[in-house]
Chains A and B, each alone.
Chain A
Amino acid sequence: MIKPDHSLLQLNRRQFVQLLSSSALFAPGLASAAQIAQAVRDPAYQNLADPWLTIAEVQQHLLPADAQSPGAEQIGALNFLQTMLQVNNDPQESEFIQQGVDWLNQLANKQHQADFKQLEPAQREVLLRRIETSDAGARWLSILMTYLIEALLSDPVYGGNKNRRGWQWLEHIPGFPTPSADKVYFKLGAHASSRRRTKA
């Protein structure tokens, strides 16, 4: 018998709406030198445009790859995020995530006269920790982190955890059976019924 936790993903609606209305910069900043963009390695990431390019760069900073373990790119974190936003079909959520990119780049330009994607890792770290000190910035990072962790460890059918790399890295033994593409959660249960109802 498991006594479940409150869902960490569930947004507090009231706070969320408040954040949307306070669309100021994350935090004021100091100026510094522009930097050269970091090369993107995975071909799937090569033709990205903003906001997705910046989001992919942020994801890679939050979950970097190293010799022994996969990073955001290797697990398909961007693909997972895009899939979830499409499934959720919540304009407020999508807009908030995109707005965050604008705010991040505004701050990057103010401090470094360059977009986030052009900064060095150390500069990125300072900038992201800086925006974390504002409520909106912390919320934005928290949403990205939640989807990133889900991308690392959910069933690969949802587009993350590519080739089960997340499970393999953490020596996780998955259960069985695992879901087929026609039985993912948004095609079952409450989701399926509410869809049927809106059509009727």
Chain B
Amino acid sequence: MSQNNDRDYDVCVIGSGAGAGPIISELSKAGKSVLVLEKGPWLHNNDFFKDELACCRRSTYTPNLQDEQHVLEEAGYDGQWVSEASSESGWDFWNGNVVGGASNFMSGFFYRLKPKDFHLKSEFGEIAGANVVDWPISYDELEPYYSKVETEVGISGRVVAHKFQEPRSREDFPYPPTLEHPVVKIIDHACQQLNLSSLPTPRAILSRPANGRNSCEYSGYCGSYGCSSGAKGSARAALIDQAVASGFCELRDNSHVYKLKSDASGKVIEALYYDADNKPRAVTAKLFVVACHAIETSRLLLASDGPRHPQGLGNNYQQLGKNLLFSAGGSGTGEFHYDQLDRLDMDGISADALKTRGPFVNRGLQDWYFIDDKAFGGQAKGGLIDFLLRHPNPISRAMSVRWNSDDNLNWGDALKRDLKSTFTSAQDLRFEVFNDWLPTDDCFVSLDKNVKDKYGQAVAKVRLGYHPHDLKVGRYLADKAEMVLQQMGAKNIRSSVSGSPPANLVAGGCRFGNNIKSSVLDANCKVHDVDNLFVTDGSFMPTGGSVPYTWTIYANSFRVADKIKTLL
């Protein structure tokens, strides 16, 4: 039996990442009593180090897959769906189960959506086999909140006019750009020659101290690592720490919510959870907000059946968990060999400058965010190209030479030669392509019938199908990016575009809309037929845009916080 000896809170928030942070912060500021239940531990700035084992090779910030996992379903060669538990495959879909969630581990590479992203169906028409719909809100409704994220979370950048620049209410970013790596000079030069607009990348990283947070220390290890200076705009450092300090917010870590209990009227009355000692507990609140990262949000609602919601909360029209989104695209690399730099037009950039570690490669291309090219097939939604250096993690780099060309393990003197060469002969400039992962009937979350987590609850099963159009757009963009590397004089240029989903870029599953029969949430991100339940992580997105989701998730959560304030 669960015990409930808690007070009745105004709001109970489940999860503490980017979708939860603004709700927590805004409602605490408004003097509401807020309880946050986070399944992971509460780590602070001084718990984060540049430790590759901790960040990237052990399950430090995510559950052990034997305890909690996913079942992943991919298309087999014969057209059948083949499912495998992640404890078997090692394919880990967790993204940071700690206070602040996955926002602790982002590289803070932030872009807004563009006005047309809010009505892709009207703009570009139907794509057969895809469930593209217009959003129930416009860019103009979200713009003030995009702007709010710039100051509240802290975004550094510099606005440069270009053909697809979205409208802004603030002229420029509140913080100047983060320091830039010398390689940007060569990128800019090549783009100029190709008549492209190389754009400074906005980052949710403070370039000067503000609000009790330090400025970036430019260690050169950012993505995948928790931030020790507090400069990175995680929900924890930017929003939650202050909310807790205000006295209006209580945060319970190691508290895993497994069910939301609803009454005969269909309203949510209790959140049931296991505390740090694995004891079942319950808590009541006037209003509940779920933001557990897209897959887990759908899982929790699916597991939360009740008298008016026999198939899970908000699932009376079988929309829950559907139209899950990832980021489509791919990545590529070109090499700059230190002993061949004199043959290139390097703008005076030396090998030592190329080896610089610390500053960011703040450059991206949006020249093909919308495609208008007969060779492609006319007008279409395109995407974004982002440039970055190879991640500095040395173990993963060394692992890349652990097999030799005969597919045998590489060892002895040959291994040492390859290690020396891969570490010291060249700088790798990489790019990543981001384009829309079209929503389809083949990408969704359900509850697995067999596999349970350590609490005995059904784990999420995720079908990972993609639309072939995603690959067509991704390839188009990757070819453009390769062209830039070519112009720069990079060697050994290659790229890959695939339908393999990046587990750290997930959205959808509870898309918002005006019709209960084709969406889970209404335009305010309230579950259509539940009066006191909101979803504020990336689950609400019907289409994902062609940029990382985090800025949009933050902005939407600020928007929903304003709606909730009028209800309490």
Contact = CB atoms under 8 A, between A and B. Distances in A.
B311 interface: no
Contacts of B423: 170-172
Contacts of B50: 174-178
B409 A12 contact: no
A91 interface: no
B87 interface: yes
B219 A13 contact: no
A173 B409 contact: no
B98 interface: yes
Nearest to B66: A13
B504 A150 contact: no
Contacts of A2: 107, 223-224, 388, 391
Interface stretch (B89-97, B115-123, B536-544): B89-97
Contacts of B394: 153, 166-167, 170, 172
Contacts of A180: 49
B89 A12 contact: yes
B509 to A, nearest CB: 20
A79 to B, nearest CB: 15
Contact of A170 (B61, B91, B420): B420
A141 B412 CA distance: 13
Interface string B216-243: 0101110111001000000000000000
Contacts of B392: 172-173, 175
A189 B505 CA distance: 22
Interface string B394-437: 11101100100000110111011001100110000000100000
Contacts of A132: 408-409
Contacts of A64: 412-413, 416
Contact of B52 (A69, A153, A193): A153
Interface in A149-174: 149-150, 152-155, 157-158, 166-167, 169-174
Interface string B368-382: 000000000000000
B395 A150 contact: yes
Interface residues of B, number: 75
A138 B92 contact: no
Contacts of B398: 149, 152-153, 170
B41 A62 contact: no
A189 B60 contact: yes
A196 B331 CA distance: 41
Interface string B78-115: 00000000011111100001100000001101000000
B58 interface: yes
Nearest to A175: B50
A190 B408 contact: no
A188 B99 CA distance: 13
B59 interface: yes
A149 B109 contact: no
Nearest to A153: B394
Interface in A182-200: 183-186, 188-194, 196-197, 200
B53 A154 contact: yes
A184 to B, nearest CB: 7
B468 interface: no
A6 B41 contact: no
Contact of A200 (B89, B277, B408): B277
Interface centre among A152, A180, A188, A194 (most CB of B within 10 A): A188
Given A4-B56, A179-B49, A197-B278, A189 B41 contact: yes
A155 B90 CA distance: 24
Given A3-B331, A61-B412, A158-B53, A173 B224 contact: no
A183 B60 contact: no
Contact of A129 (B47, B391, B408): B408
A7 B57 contact: yes
B503 interface: yes
Nearest to B49: A179
B225 A175 contact: yes
Contacts of B57: 7, 9, 150
Contacts of A197: 254, 276-278
B61 A3 contact: no
A5 interface: yes
Contact of B402 (A13, A14, A149, A157): A149
B158 to A, nearest CB: 19
A42 interface: no
Contacts of A61: 411-412
B166 interface: no
A49 interface: no
Given A153-B395, A179-B51, A188-B54, A3 B505 contact: yes
Nearest to A179: B49
B386 interface: yes
A19 B395 CA distance: 26
B276 A193 contact: yes
Contacts of B59: 190-191
B269 interface: no
Contact of B92 (A7, A63, A185, A191): A7
A134 interface: no
Contact of B63 (A158, A176, A190): A190
B62 interface: yes
Given A4-B56, A172-B423, A188 B47 contact: yes
Given A132-B409, A157-B51, A178-B51, 20 more contacts: A1-B109, A2-B391, A4-B56, A4-B224, A6-B90, A6-B91, A7-B92, A8-B399, A61-B411, A63-B412, A173-B355, A175-B50, A175-B220, A176-B217, A189-B98, A190-B40, A190-B60, A191-B60, A193-B254, A196-B276
Please provide the 6 A-B residue pairs with the shortest distance between their CB atoms, ordered closest to farther. Answer: A175-B50, A10-B90, A185-B54, A175-B221, A170-B423, A179-B49
7 contacts: A173-B392, A178-B51, A180-B49, A185-B53, A189-B47, A200-B277, A200-B278
Interface of B: 40-41, 43, 47, 49-54, 56-67, 87-92, 97-98, 106-107, 109, 217, 219-221, 223-225, 228, 254, 276-278, 331, 355, 357, 386, 388, 391-392, 394-396, 398-399, 402, 408-409, 411-413, 415-416, 419-420, 423-424, 432, 502-505, 548
Interface of A: 1-14, 61-64, 66, 69, 125, 128-129, 132, 138, 141-142, 145-146, 149-150, 152-155, 157-158, 166-167, 169-180, 183-186, 188-194, 196-197, 200
